[in-house]
Amino acid sequence: MFGLMVAAVMSIKHIVITMGILLIVIFGYLGYRIISMGRHIEELNIVKEKSNDEIQERLIAEDRAMKFANIIKYSDDAIIGKDINGYITSWNNGAENVYGWRKEEAVGKNISILYTEDNESEINEIKKDVKNGIKIKGLKAKRKRKDGTEIYVFLTVSPIKDCKGEIIGTSSISRDITYHMENELKIQNSYEELSAVYSQLAAAEEELRAQYDELLNRERELRNSEERYKSALEITNDGILEWDIGTDRYFVSDRWYTILNCANSNNDSFLSYLKKIVHKEDMSKILRAYVKHAKNKEESFKCEFRLKTFDGGYKWIYFKGKMIKDDEGKPLKFIGALTDISERIEFQEKIRFLANYDMLTNLPNKALFFNTLERELKNSNENNTKGALIAIDLDEFKIINDTLGHAVGDKVLIEVSNILREVTNNEHLISRIGGDEFIILINKFEDINEITSICRKLSEVMKTPLSIDDKEIYTRLSMGIAIFPYNGRDRGTIFKNVDTALYESKRSGKNKFTFFDKELSENIMRRDKIEKGLREALDNDGLHLVYQPKIDINNNKIAGFEALLRWHSEELGFVSPMEFIEVAEERGLICKIGKWVIERVTRQNKEWKKQGFEYGTISVNVSPKQIQNEDFIQEIEKIMNDCEVCPTLLEVEITENSLMKEFDYNVKVLKQLREKKINISLDDFGTGYSSLSYLKELPINILKIDKSFIDDIENDNNKKSIVDGIIQLAHKINLEVVAEGVESEEQLIILKELNCDIIQGYFFSKPISSEEVESKYFSGI
């Protein structure tokens, strides 16, 4: 037992000695580490002291970089970064607006989401240049938005290099120029294309415990960033503003001063400076936008307003900015960019002018006139006031255009518009609503004499010829007047009625003014019914011809017939040819009716000749509009060929007055008819220009003396002498003479004494149907 105890005691002693030795070693090592750590602490303090200056400089650079980051963030341009494999790494607010992708959607996707199908060759070229370290600047390219729509952008692509100079990705700046591309043909001076600006900020700062070499690399990157920021300010087309709200001091870039054409000076406080340069009418608009943004009602500040330039003028600018706040929401700074939009505003003003004013006369156009009329009619109806419209048309303006040219015609319109301004003292709205048509809106008057006074003054002034290019040009005005609300309470009614009054002035002789009234309205309604009835008659064979014989005065045999048009309307009854022919002329039906008449007469010629009847020719009356129809000759030829009828059986009658209008052209067409062996007679001779000298120049072979010279010839020696002179002159130039309107034997005897060739009138026969002609004149054949 004792032995065991001794052994145990010895073991414990051995353990104690061993632990003592270990403690000595441990405390010795701890002492050594404490001394070593003291030396390291001293070294760290030295490093810390040395790096304080560098850290301060880095913080300054970081502040500048933050400014630059805000500019990028709030720029309207799309600024996008991608890695070497084309995956998007950064995406600013401008990119969201341009391409429609939100940042969280775009980052991580391949840049190809923005490419269109035809971008392949262009992208390959860009990749090639970037790979070679070449910066692509000023490229107009087509890209695709998230919704699939294609847009045009102004693109700059720059390679991004690491500290070793190796390319690790690209950065691009793109500006949406779709609007400019679509409108570049209309805009003479397009907006200056924005230069691409991009700066790659330094990678996130590593912890303060980074090695000294890494700290130097960070400093170098921040210096490069500062240089890029400075370059961006120099080359961007936008003016940059940074306003310290607390101190009211501000910084603006050189481009700001360039846009406003003023010297670089910011000695004033920002608010004082703003009051000096903002147009007084725009200050309230700026304040409203600022308050909305400050109260977080708007994400960013956006406003268009005018700023004063150095020369005292104003430029329109678009400003977009963002307020920077501290953690408690207190405003610290305001940062934004200014863009010159003067050209855009000027273009918009031009578009507005084009939409509302006539480019030739600078008078309001039809659109502006109708808008104003609607407003005045509403005011008249609500306040029981009266107003008037005066519709104006230049008489014979087409002749001026055709004979003197459209350039002279335009000058006439300008001169007339100036006369309208002068006569009305610019007190009323004057509008050119088309061609040679003007209209005056008088929004309020007391006495109807005010209206008639304006019309009389205009008529009086227009008696004096206009002096255009050393020429004296005579033109007159036809005017129609409608009073509202009496002649209409709405635009459609009042405009229709003033047009009706104008038409009546032109129809009844021109160079006059006419007030609209109920009788005029009824007359127009009747003419509308006549037009409708004529159209139905043409479609349903509702017209018919009658024939008045022409008698050879020497042997009393039939020398021919004059075909006369008749119409009996189911609704209106018998309508006088004078009435419905006039309507046909004005409503554009006369050529169709004239063609129908020639077709029927040609068929009648064929039928009567087939039966062996001898009678000379059948004459038809033609309108000037038929002659001036470019298809007139071809239509007659086709009718003759289709019916296989000799052209000598047809006689075309044209009145003296009709011939003298567009004289040269009419004579040219008549000569072509004579060359085709068609007979031509000059109708109603003596009632028009009464000139005998031109007869020998006309391609006619028959002269018809008007009934007015035959009436009472047996009792009027003057008429007898005139008729005698006409017959002798006609015979001297080998013209056959027909006397119209012969109604008595005494007239027949006198005409026979005067050697007239043919007579026509009720003394022998009224106009009769083809069946009556056959039974009366051809029954014995």
pLDDT at 360: 94
pLDDT at 251: 84
Starting at the earlier edge strand, list the strands of the sheet with 150-161. 88-91, 78-83, 167-176, 150-161, 136-144
Rounded to whole angstroms, the Cα distance separating 473 from 407 reads: 13
285 and 301 in contact (C-beta within 8 Å)? Answer: no
Q: Which of 207-211, 245-249, 347-351, 451-455 has the lowest mean pLDDT?
A: 207-211
Which of residues 192 and 748 earns the better pLDDT score?
748
Rounded to whole angstroms, the Cα distance separating 494 from 373 reads: 10
State whether the Cα torsion 590-595-601-604 is positive or negative. Answer: negative
Q: Which helix (H) or strand (E) holds 679?
A: strand 679-685
Rounded to whole angstroms, the Cα distance separating 175 from 78 reads: 6
Which of residues 160 and 202 earns the better pLDDT score?
160
Cβ atoms within 10 Å of 359's Cβ, excluding its own: 10
pLDDT at 496 over 80: yes
Query: pLDDT for 114-128, tens place per residue?
Result: 999 888 888 888 888
Return all residues near 629 (Cβ < 8 A) that are at least 6 apart: 591, 635
Q: How confident is the model at residue 231 (pLDDT cuts 50, 70, 90)?
A: very low
Q: What's phi and psi for 140, nearest 5 deg?
A: -90, 120
Across the range 482-495, mean pLDDT stands at 92
pLDDT at 205: 42
pLDDT at 78: 93
Burial 203-241, CB ≥16 within 10 A → b, else e:
eeeeeeeeeeeebeebbebbebbbebbeebbeebbbbbb
Beta-bridged to residue 81, according to DSSP, are 90, 171
Q: How far is CA 544 from the centre of its chain?
A: 49
pLDDT at 266: 61
Pairing, β 136-144 against β 78-83: unpaired
Q: What's phi and psi for 86, nearest 5 deg?
A: 90, 10
pLDDT at 294 over 70: yes
CA distances from 473 to 412, 416, 462 (A): 8, 12, 10
Cβ atoms within 10 Å of 614's Cβ, excluding its own: 10
Across the range 98-106, mean pLDDT stands at 92
pLDDT at 270 over 90: no
pLDDT at 22: 46
Rounded to whole angstroms, the Cα distance separating 620 from 635 reads: 15
Give percent of the chain above pLDDT 70.
82
Burial 271-301, CB ≥16 within 10 A → b, else e:
eebeeeebeeebeeebeebbeebeeeeeeeb
Residue the block writes with tokens 């030739």 = 360
**Side-chain half-sphere exposure of 34, counting CA atoms within 13 A:** 6
pLDDT at 65 over 80: no
Q: What is the pLDDT of the chain when averaged over all its residues?
A: 84
pLDDT at 296 over 50: yes
594 and 623 in contact (C-beta within 8 Å)? Answer: yes
Return all residues near 672 (Cβ < 8 A) that are at least 6 apart: 633
Rounded to whole angstroms, the Cα distance separating 438 from 361 reads: 11
CA neighbor of 653 nearest in space, from 630, 694, 619: 619
Rounded to whole angstroms, the Cα distance separating 390 from 701 reads: 48
Rounded to whole angstroms, the Cα distance separating 533 from 572 reads: 9
pLDDT at 241: 85
Across the range 25-37, mean pLDDT stands at 51
Q: How confident is the model at residue 679 (pLDDT cuts 50, 70, 90)?
A: very high
Q: How confident is the model at residue 417 (pLDDT cuts 50, 70, 90)?
A: very high
Rounded to whole angstroms, the Cα distance separating 508 from 499 reads: 14
pLDDT at 528: 86
Which of residues 58 and 250 earns the better pLDDT score?
250
CA neighbor of 451 nearest in space, from 405, 383, 515, 371: 515
685 and 623 in contact (C-beta within 8 Å)? Answer: no
Q: Which of 32-36, 56-60, 173-177, 681-685 has the lowest mean pLDDT?
A: 32-36
pLDDT at 187 over 50: yes
- Two tokens, residue 332: 């610290």
Query: pLDDT for 427-450, tens place per residue?
Result: 899 999 999 999 999 988 888 899
pLDDT at 688: 59
Q: How confident is the model at residue 192 (pLDDT cuts 50, 70, 90)?
A: very low
Rounded to whole angstroms, the Cα distance separating 628 from 729 reads: 29
96 and 181 in contact (C-beta within 8 Å)? Answer: no
Residue the block writes with tokens 């068929």 = 603
Q: Tell me which amino acid residue 607 is.
A: E
Give percent of the chain above pLDDT 90.
52
647 and 640 in contact (C-beta within 8 Å)? Answer: yes
pLDDT at 271: 85
Rounded to whole angstroms, the Cα distance separating 507 from 6 reads: 155
Rounded to whole angstroms, the Cα distance separating 519 from 79 reads: 74
Which of residues 33 and 740 earns the better pLDDT score?
740
pLDDT at 185: 53
Q: How confident is the model at residue 508 (pLDDT cuts 50, 70, 90)?
A: confident
pLDDT at 39 over 70: no
Rounded to whole angstroms, the Cα distance separating 663 from 627 reads: 11
pLDDT at 265: 60
- Report the interhelical angle of 590-610 vs 577-586 (nearest 10°): 130
Q: How far is CA 233 from the centre of its chain?
A: 40
pLDDT at 211 over 70: no
- Two tokens, residue 287: 């304040």
pLDDT at 70: 62
pLDDT at 9: 38
Beta-bridged to residue 147, according to DSSP, are none
Return all residues near 480 (Cβ < 8 A) that are at least 6 apart: 390, 391, 498, 499, 500, 501, 502, 503, 504, 505, 513, 514, 516
292 and 312 in contact (C-beta within 8 Å)? Answer: no
448 and 439 in contact (C-beta within 8 Å)? Answer: no
pLDDT at 23: 43
Q: How confident is the model at residue 663 (pLDDT cuts 50, 70, 90)?
A: confident
Across the range 58-66, mean pLDDT stands at 58
Q: Which of 117-121, 387-391, 452-456, 693-697 has the lowest mean pLDDT?
A: 693-697
State the first-to-last Cα distance of the chain, in angstroms, to the nearest integer.
186
Query: pLDDT for 599-652, tens place per residue?
Result: 999 999 999 999 999 899 999 999 999 999 999 999 999 999 999 999 999 999
Please tell me what DSSP assigns to residue 465: P
Across the range 372-384, mean pLDDT stands at 92
Q: Which of 128-142, 217-231, 347-361, 548-562 has the lowest mean pLDDT?
A: 217-231
Rounded to whole angstroms, the Cα distance separating 201 from 68 reads: 9
Rounded to whole angstroms, the Cα distance separating 151 from 114 reads: 10
Rounded to whole angstroms, the Cα distance separating 718 from 563 reads: 31
DSSP letters of 180-214? HHHHTTT-SSPPPPPPP----PPPPPPPTTS-HHH
Query: pLDDT for 235-253, tens place per residue?
Result: 456 788 889 888 888 888 8
Q: Which of 26-35, 238-247, 729-738 has the lowest mean pLDDT?
A: 26-35
Rounded to whole angstroms, the Cα distance separating 321 from 302 reads: 7
Q: Which of 198-212, 286-300, 389-403 has the lowest mean pLDDT?
A: 198-212
Q: How confident is the model at residue 180 (pLDDT cuts 50, 70, 90)?
A: confident
Domains of the chain, each with CATH number or no CATH: 76-196 (3.30.450.20), 238-346 (3.30.450.20), 357-516 (3.30.70.270), 528-776 (3.20.20.450)
pLDDT at 365 over 70: yes
Beta-bridged to residue 561, according to DSSP, are 549, 618
Q: How confident is the model at residue 544 (pLDDT cuts 50, 70, 90)?
A: very high
pLDDT at 51: 56
Rounded to whole angstroms, the Cα distance separating 688 from 661 reads: 11
Rounded to whole angstroms, the Cα distance separating 458 from 452 reads: 10
Q: How far is CA 105 from the centre of its chain?
A: 41
Which of residues 212 and 633 earns the better pLDDT score?
633
pLDDT at 446: 84
Beta-bridged to residue 548, according to DSSP, are 562
Rounded to whole angstroms, the Cα distance separating 411 from 691 reads: 33
CA distances from 110 to 104, 115, 303, 328, 569 (A): 13, 10, 35, 39, 80
